[in-house]
Amino acid sequence: MSGRIGSCKRQRKTCNTRGRKIMTDLSKTNQREPGPAETIARFEHRKSVSPKSIELFEYADALRQVGRKNEALQHYAHLATLPIPENKRWLVTLFKGQTLFEMGRFPEAEHAFRDACSHDPSTVPRVYLAAALAEQEQFAAAIGVLADALHCEGDTDEVLLNLALNQRTLGQLAAAQKSLEQALAITPDYTHAQTVLEDVNAALSLNDDVNELQMPT
């Protein structure tokens, strides 16, 4: 996994937690969150009972986590036909996109994330969309999506990190430095941002040294 997409690891964890919490709110439960194998076992032992949308959602995500991604996609397609509240429906599309992303089907993932963005104004689907664009080497487009995400509610520090990673990819080192410094101003102990900033600063310093050597004496 490349550096620019590796930045989504923390975002993906945030998204999964947020998504599952929102969906769980539908069933008003506060139970311990089970692992994927337990979730699959519970669902399949009760398959004779018509499942609630939250149970099917969690089952599909558990299938994704253990690698049964094609089955997960089938269940996300079925979920899209169920009467899920409109303000939660974007999560189905988001997790479908995540599954496609993990399968390497990046254009399809991009389409799913764009649909999620159209139904949710937060940073979450936009970070995913930018990741799908970056995997297709559409770095300028990814930067545009992330620049827009700076005006959205959510984890701005992670948006800034992802923005910096794409800027670094295109050699926009000064812009990347600024984005990383802004991310660290929000979250000073953001280790990934610190590491990337060290790399960017080193590259900028090297460029300065080269320019000095090339100056006429």
- Tell me which residue of 108, 30, 94 sits closest to 60, measured CA to CA: 94
Neighbours of 153 (CB within 10 A): 11
Is residue 96 classed as helix, strand or coil in its secondary structure? helix
Q: Residue 1 has what pLDDT?
A: 32
Q: Residue 20 has what pLDDT?
A: 38
pLDDT in tens, 6-18: 455 444 433 443 4
Q: Residue 93 has what pLDDT?
A: 97
In which residue ranges of the chain is pLDDT below 70?
1-31, 47-49, 208-217
**The pTM is what?**
0.82
Q: Residue 207 has what pLDDT?
A: 76
Q: Residue 171 has what pLDDT?
A: 97
How far apart are the C-alpha atoms of 19 and 103, rounded to whole Å? 20
Q: Residue 122 has what pLDDT?
A: 97
- Tell me which residue of 205, 160, 162, 199 sits closest to 181, measured CA to CA: 160
Complete domains list, the chain, with CATH = 3-208 (1.25.40.10)
